[in-house]
Structure 1
Amino acid sequence: MDGPPEVPGIGRPPETRRESYVKLVWIAMWLAFLGSPVADLLRGDHGPVGTVLGWLGLVAFAGCYVGLVLRQTGRPTEPVVVRGCLTVLAVFAIALPLTLGDEWLVLFVYVSVACGAVLPLKWTRTAILTTTAALIATGLLLGADPQYWLLIPTLLGGFSMIGVRELVRTTRELREARAQVAQLAANEERLRLARDLHDLLGHSLSLITLKSELAGRMLPDHPGKAAGQVADIEKVSRQALVDVREAVTGYRRPRLAAELGGAQAALAAAGIAAEVPADVPDLPGTAEATLAWTLREAVTNVVRHSGARHCTVTVTRRETLGGPVVELSVEDDGAGPSGAPPGNGLNGLAERLAAVGGTLETGTAPARGFRLVARVPAASVGSAA
């Protein structure tokens, strides 16, 4: 038996705590449908021995179902174990209704859901239809009223589980693709820096090497000319150092568009619905870097401290009395301001913004939560701190 499909060349990412909680809640909701067998046992109509065996069978069935679905949807189980667990579930689903009554026919719904959750897609439809046929046959043997056969829940539970599993698989593939894109972007930036450094330093280092060799040959007989060559070497090396610093500064400077993408990914990973603009206005390098740092700090605060469910980020260009400005707004629906003095993070942002002639405002959002607004001149007047 094949395991669940995976993206070629990419391992399945570890399950997050949030996903585990959601899965547990989902399984608990499904187990609530065992109310009919539980009520049947509580009535005590089967005698002491029958009641005890019924409880043991119900607990074994539920434990096998939970263990199989929980394990298989988190990390694929060995095919032999999957087949064995499904066989156990099918045997219990047939034996318990035949011995205890038609109120136990609901177990077939769980068998159908388990087939949809753990079997390869090419087998799931056949397994779900076979489970439904077994339900009908068991109901006929019991002489049960057809309304207790649970045909629709059995079919709907199994086929809906196929859709849920495909949705989970697609979500994982998108997450993996996003991680790959980010990695490729980082690799491309490293290659760009390597090319820039090669172009900057290749000529300079070659010139320094040649002039050093020339100065060495001139030194015994023409020390004055050798000193001139050494002075040229100093000029070339200083210019090379300036070029490298400029290249590294541009490499390390955060870009607002990249930070918007990172903000959306961070908020989504924290389970916070995000509204993030696709485009940003043109900005001078220092102003753009300052807004990028501001956005990073603001989103970090939202993820760590706000407890928000929704966050809106806007970047707009506005005309003011002092001239055109670009305004960054980060607004969430979380706990809101704590009333305590601003921390080092916000103070640092205010200093960065002030260095480029910008301002920072924080406070309660119009509806509920926390709002941060940063403004920088559309024409930078300083350099980032």
Structure 2
Amino acid sequence: MQTFGRPVLGRRQVLTKAVWIGIWLVFLASPVRDLVMTGRSAAATALGALGLAAFVACYLTLVFRYTTRMLDRRAVYVSFAAQLTLAVVLALGFGTDWLGLFVYVSVSAGAVLPMRYATWTIPAVTAVMVVVGLRTDGLRDLLGNLAVLSVLVGFAMAGVRQLVRTTIQLRQARATVAQLAANEERLRLARDLHDLLGHSLSLITLKSELAGRMLPDHPGQAARQVADIEQVSRQALVDVREAVSGYRRRTLAGELAGARTALAAAGIEADVPLEPPAELPGEEAEAALAWALREAVTNVVRHSGARRCTVAFTARKTLDGPLLELSVQDDGVGGSGTAAGNGLTGLGERVEAVGGILETDPGPHHGFRLTVRVPLAAAPTTPG
């Protein structure tokens, strides 16, 4: 599922797709058996083998290259017309054992033709098969079965093709949304920096010019202007540091969106809330939960080999006060939960700094579970 709807890259993926498509060529056993077992002349057998090889080449070219997208419309139509012509000629020339070729023509129509064409081409191919088969008596039951099979597999392949192309469009849309979000964030950063520094830098420039004009005749007034410049500069530095801290702070909403994207990209079924819980802890505790979610999902994607990952939030009331619990559980290879890596060690220190608790253990059945609990209310301070 990780490569569903993606272009085939690398020798391994090419071989995998070729094997998957080649499996269905087993239904060509009837024409092959007819060639081998029927006592025809050597010339007729050679022509039949050559025609069957050309038919298979057309089929593999269409299904292997053009299912994802129609790279060359003319090549698609020419290959499809050649495949249909070969099916008709071979079935007329060699007999009823070759009628199954029309099923492959229907599959090709569903795999590569636009839907508006496939909806009538598949029934038309089936009708041609019936017309060719009716010239032989006693084939009505076989023709009926082949006609149903041709229509069903043709439209099934059209549905698969549409699913593949929809998946590609969704991936492209996701990439576009991510790019737009990045552009919007850059614009926001530029706008905030302008708002933060524009006034301060203008004031510094103005006071610097005043101080320069007051020297050397009015050194006292120039010193006051320099002092003002220092004060404005310090305040601008504080504002910039606060703004940068805000940009760096992780939020649960952002990490939930990132978790869904990362798990989907890895082909892992994600059971992740769309929004964080309504009641959230303070900024520092929320940031710790966000870091925990990111670390847990990263470990699931990289190391677990899981097929499913579940993220859940639970509000709990304890004697020490209300807590918010984050649980990330997968069904992968699991772990003992006794040895923490550098990532989990640093995460545990971050959670402890906000008064929380980090726990790791095997899942109820298999897999791995990470649990983080942080206080919903700020810890009371002891008056000095």
Q: TM-score per shorter chain, which class? A: 0.7 to 0.9
- Structure 1: unaligned runs, 5 residues or longer: 1-12
For residue 117 of structure 1, report the CA deviation from its aligned partner.
1.7
1:185 is aligned to 181
1:206 aligns with 2:202: yes
Moved more, 265-274 or 53-62: 53-62
3-state DSSP class of the match of 1:73? coil
2:53 is aligned with what amino acid? V
For residue 55 of structure 1, report the CA deviation from its aligned partner.
3.8
Cα pair 2:308 2:330 within 8 Å, conserved: yes
Identity, % of aligned positions: 60
Q: How does 1:207-286 map to 2 (within 5 A)?
A: 207-281=203-277, 282-286=280-284
What is the alpha-carbon distance in structure 2 between the residues aligned to residue 381 and residue 215 of structure 1?
49
What is the alpha-carbon distance in structure 2 between the residues aligned to residue 38 and residue 339 of structure 1?
58
1:65 is aligned to 59
For residue 107 of structure 1, report the CA deviation from its aligned partner.
0.7
1:5 is aligned to none
Cα pair 2:337 2:361 within 8 Å, conserved: no
2:313 is aligned with what amino acid? V
Cα pair 1:259 1:295 within 8 Å, conserved: yes
3-state DSSP class of the match of 1:360? strand
Cα pair 1:333 1:368 within 8 Å, conserved: yes
2:264 is aligned with what amino acid? A
Cα pair 1:286 1:380 within 8 Å, conserved: no
Match of 1:309 among 303, 307, 317: 307
1:356 is aligned to 354
1:15 is aligned with what amino acid? P
Match of 1:95 among 67, 71, 89: 89
3-state DSSP class of the match of 2:134? helix
Q: How does 1:54-203 map to 2 (within 5 A)?
A: 54-143=48-137, 145-149=139-143, 150-203=146-199
* Alignment TM-score, normalising by the size of structure 2: 0.88
- Give the 3 Å change call, closer, same or farther, for CA 122–378 of structure 1 in structure 2: same
Cα pair 1:103 1:148 within 8 Å, conserved: no
Moved more, 40-49 or 305-314: 40-49
1:371 is aligned with what amino acid? R
1:178 is aligned with what amino acid? R
* Alignment TM-score, normalising by the size of structure 1: 0.88
- Structure 2: unaligned runs, 5 residues or longer: none
For residue 32 of structure 1, report the CA deviation from its aligned partner.
3.2
1:6 is aligned to none
What is the alpha-carbon distance in structure 2 between the residues aligned to residue 320 and residue 46 of structure 1?
88
1:371 is aligned to 369
For residue 321 of structure 1, report the CA deviation from its aligned partner.
2.4
Moved more, 139-148 or 15-24: 15-24
Match of 1:15 among 7, 10, 32: 7
- Give the 3 Å change call, closer, same or farther, for CA 51–331 of structure 1 in structure 2: farther
For residue 332 of structure 1, report the CA deviation from its aligned partner.
0.6
1:326 is aligned with what amino acid? L
What is the alpha-carbon distance in structure 1 between the residues aligned to residue 360 and residue 47 of structure 2?
65
1:63 is aligned with what amino acid? A
For residue 345 of structure 1, report the CA deviation from its aligned partner.
1.4
For residue 344 of structure 1, report the CA deviation from its aligned partner.
1.4
What is the alpha-carbon distance in structure 1 between the residues aligned to residue 175 and residue 75 of structure 2?
32
Cα pair 1:65 1:89 within 8 Å, conserved: yes
For residue 24 of structure 1, report the CA deviation from its aligned partner.
4.8
2:162 is aligned with what amino acid? E
What is the alpha-carbon distance in structure 1 between the residues aligned to residue 379 and residue 48 of structure 2?
80
For residue 280 of structure 1, report the CA deviation from its aligned partner.
1.6
1:31 aligns with 2:25: yes
Cα pair 2:66 2:112 within 8 Å, conserved: yes
What is the alpha-carbon distance in structure 2 between the residues aligned to residue 32 and residue 355 of structure 1?
64
1:310 is aligned with what amino acid? R
- Give the 3 Å change call, closer, same or farther, for CA 199–261 of structure 1 in structure 2: same
Deviations 1:17-66 (A, max 9, x none): 69978855652453333233344345455465554544443333223212
Q: What CA RMSD, in Å, does the superposition of the two structures yield over aligned residues? A: 2.5
For residue 238 of structure 1, report the CA deviation from its aligned partner.
0.8
Cα pair 1:97 1:103 within 8 Å, conserved: yes
For residue 237 of structure 1, report the CA deviation from its aligned partner.
0.5
Cα pair 1:357 1:380 within 8 Å, conserved: no
- Give the 3 Å change call, closer, same or farther, for CA 20–291 of structure 1 in structure 2: farther
What is the alpha-carbon distance in structure 1 between the residues aligned to residue 24 and residue 244 of structure 2?
56
What is the alpha-carbon distance in structure 2 between the residues aligned to residue 106 and residue 42 of structure 1?
17
Cα pair 1:193 1:247 within 8 Å, conserved: no
2:316 is aligned with what amino acid? R
3-state DSSP class of the match of 1:74? coil
- Give the 3 Å change call, closer, same or farther, for CA 125–280 of structure 1 in structure 2: closer
What is the alpha-carbon distance in structure 1 between the residues aligned to residue 375 and residue 16 of structure 2?
45
Cα pair 1:287 1:380 within 8 Å, conserved: no
1:8 is aligned to none
3-state DSSP class of the match of 1:293? helix
1:291 aligns with 2:286: no
1:202 is aligned with what amino acid? G
Moved more, 19-28 or 259-268: 19-28
Cα pair 2:281 2:374 within 8 Å, conserved: no
1:78 is aligned with what amino acid? D
What is the alpha-carbon distance in structure 2 between the residues aligned to residue 378 and residue 25 of structure 1?
55
Moved more, 68-77 or 322-331: 68-77
3-state DSSP class of the match of 1:348? helix
2:65 is aligned with what amino acid? R
2:140 is aligned with what amino acid? P
